[in-house]
Structure 1
């Protein structure tokens, strides 16, 4: 954990602040599965239903980690972004889980998108949780 304390953490705008040049993670990247599994594990202990995969929120999460901006990509609900930048990647995942813990445990969130990019040293991990409220909730995402 001492390494965690020394790693730089940036919440929104990490790319702009550090000027990192990052390569996108492939959709089938096992790291994205690791992030999704970490979220599912926390969510399972909360008593909330599982989060559903959302292609709109995944696109939003990928855009968030690449450009530092959030576009809900037509998602019909309320998106909640969570971003962490750290090295190594496992630390960035841990940081994102810590930053987003309250949102992950919020049963109003029903959908999830995950994104990650990395440079040689740093990784940027993004989660976008979504909650569909009001009349749209009955229609689903």
Structure 2
């Protein structure tokens, strides 16, 4: 444990209405990398089960779920959906904590970085959610280092 943060990989999820992007960090929480894009199962069975598998296989110490707020900070339907998903994940991965972290502009940033890398728009769909999850996770990792503690809002079940 360094600076109050237990060493180990962190997992991040970018929750959309159709897909869920997944990213993971190294055990020291320095670098976020993409893992996969899951098809969103609105019943929450297969995608949440896959998240549970990732948490267990990688020994994740925390799961960060992006909370899509409006630029004003207000929450809309997408944020409500992400909160509901985070509760499902929290129940499924307990006792591993799940935290909601602000993800304003992560998908926009993901699209921009992919365009800058020369990836055509129609090919972005398959990986944009993973890139957004990487952006969410890297932001959480940076916030952890600044604060010396986990970041975001702890999800309670």
Q: TM-score with structure 1 length normalisation?
A: 0.30
Q: TM-score with structure 2 length normalisation?
A: 0.28
